[in-house]
Amino acid sequence: MRIAKVFNNNVVSAFNEENIELVVMGRGIAFQKRPGDLVDETKIEKVFKLMDKKVSEKFKTLLHEVPIECMEISEEIITYAKLTLGKTLNENIYITLTDHLNFAIERHKKGLNIKNALLWEIKRFYKDEFEIGKEALRIIKNRIGLILPEDEAGFIALHIVNAELNEEMPNIVNITKVMQEVLNIVKYHFKMDFNEESLNYYRFVTHLKFFAQRLFNGTSTENNNNDFLYDVVKEKYKEAYLCTKKIKDYIKKVYTYELTKEEMTYLTIHIERVVNRN
């Protein structure tokens, strides 16, 4: 592996035997090294292989601005998230999370902590990701001795959700808002509280997450013209269907998005389950 570019004493980009560019990290790995020199493989601690060219370029730019400790913390959190969730995360998280952590750490050192306005919703809708966020705070504490507030666990969770859904951060905030709005409509229609530990609640929240994502992406479920199933559900679950109609009217008024019959069918089924099988 030969060095292509030296970023600092601890980070280089290098080409491997297959001529793939990698970002290689290790303390002192670039000391007195120049482009073209062989990488001292005994000093390699982390290797980043970013296949997306744009992400790779942004990542390399970030390396000039962020301390190696922050890069290592971010990589440890991302690795933990992947193992815990068992999912592939969009590579862009290496940029967004690293940049956020660097900014959050610098803010905290200056006594400038930001409140997370969505913390309550994040805890409810993204429980697994929030647990990862809390583990991230423990990693930060163990690595550099800083105790960040719980709000930061929420911000980190949103970055993970962002990488799962492959969305931009403003969309994740909007998706979370729509989920809460729909849940409120159901809650007040049936004058009830949800059992947030139930499997049906988890399924409903998951359904709402992808429903809201389609809303903001301007896509909808394919309308297979399955009027028979729609009519059966409408007749069988009358009260749940009336609630779905309220949701349909609200979404059309606020977001100018028209629910298809298929979307109404599945919403009605989920509402019936979460209301009657809490």
Sheet containing strand 46-48, edge to edge, reads 2-8, 11-15, 21-25, 46-48
167-196 pLDDT, tens digit per residue, is 888 889 999 999 999 999 999 999 999 998
Is 67 in contact with 7 (CB distance < 8 Å)? no
Give the side-chain half-sphere CA count within 13 A for 233: 24
* Class of residue 121 by CB neighbours under 10 A (exposed 0-12, middle 13-18, buried 19+): middle
Q: How sure is the predictor about 95, in pLDDT bands with cuts at 50, 70 and 90?
A: confident
Q: Which residue has the tokens 């969309």?
A: 171
Same fold, 1-49 and 174-276: no
pLDDT at 212 exceeding the cut of 80: yes
Please tell me whether residue 277 adopts helix, strand or coil conformation.
coil
For residues 155 and 162, give the distance between their C-alpha atoms in angstroms, rounded to a whole number.
11
Q: Does domain 174-276 have CATH number 1.10.1790.10?
A: yes
- Whether the full predicted model's pTM is greater than 0.95, yes or no, is no
Q: How much is the average pLDDT of 87-91? A: 86
pLDDT at 67: 86
Indicate the CATH number of 52-165 among 1.10.1790.10, 1.10.10.10, 3.40.50.10860, 3.30.70.580. 1.10.1790.10
pLDDT at 219 exceeding the cut of 90: no
Q: Which CATH class is domain 1-49?
A: mainly beta
Domain ranges of the chain: 1-49, 52-165, 174-276
For residues 75 and 71, give the distance between their C-alpha atoms in angstroms, rounded to a whole number.
6
